[in-house]
Amino acid sequence: MKFYGIGQVWNKEMKKILCSFGGTNFDGNGYTIPGAYETSDEKEIKLLKELGYETDFQRAIEKLRKSDSDKVKEQRAKSPTLKSQVEADQGEK
C-alpha cells in the first residue's frame, strides 16, 4: 500500500525510523508536495493508517495545503512586521 506525507515516521518500539517520505519540495505556489512510501508490511500499514497518513495523493495535498495555510496565519498573528508587510503587499495589487 502506498502512503503520502512529508518527513519521517519514528517507530518507537524498534527505536528507529519506520519510513521517510521525503516530501519537502514546494510547488510554484509555495505549498508542500508530499512524498510517497510504499509497503506491504501489515504492521506498518496499520500504524500509518492509525497515524492518519493518506493513501490518496490528492487528499494528502489538500491536508498539507490546509496545514501550510494554518501555519502562515499563525506566523502572521505572532509577527507584527510580517502582518504589516502582507497588508502592504496586498495594497499594491
Instruction: Report yes or no on 72 lying in a domain.
Output: no
Instruction: Report yes or no on 73 lying in a domain.
Output: no
pTM of the model: 0.65
pLDDT at 80: 58
Give the 3-state secondary structure of residue 23. coil
Instruction: Report yes or no on 84 lying in a domain.
Output: no
Instruction: Report yes or no on 79 lying in a domain.
Output: no
pLDDT at 38: 93
Instruction: Report yes or no on 90 lying in a domain.
Output: no
Q: Phi/psi at 89 (nearest 5 deg)? A: -60, -40
Grid coordinates belonging to 35: 512524498
pLDDT at 93: 45
Instruction: Report yes or no on 36 lying in a domain.
Output: yes
Instruction: Report yes or no on 80 lying in a domain.
Output: no
Half-sphere exposure of 15 (CA within 13 A, CB side): 0
pLDDT at 62: 84
Give the 3-state secondary structure of residue 71. helix
Q: Which domain does 52 fall in, by range?
A: 2-67
Mean pLDDT in order along the chain per 10 residues (93 residues): 89 89 67 86 93 89 76 64 52 51
Question: For the chain, what is the domain count?
Answer: 1
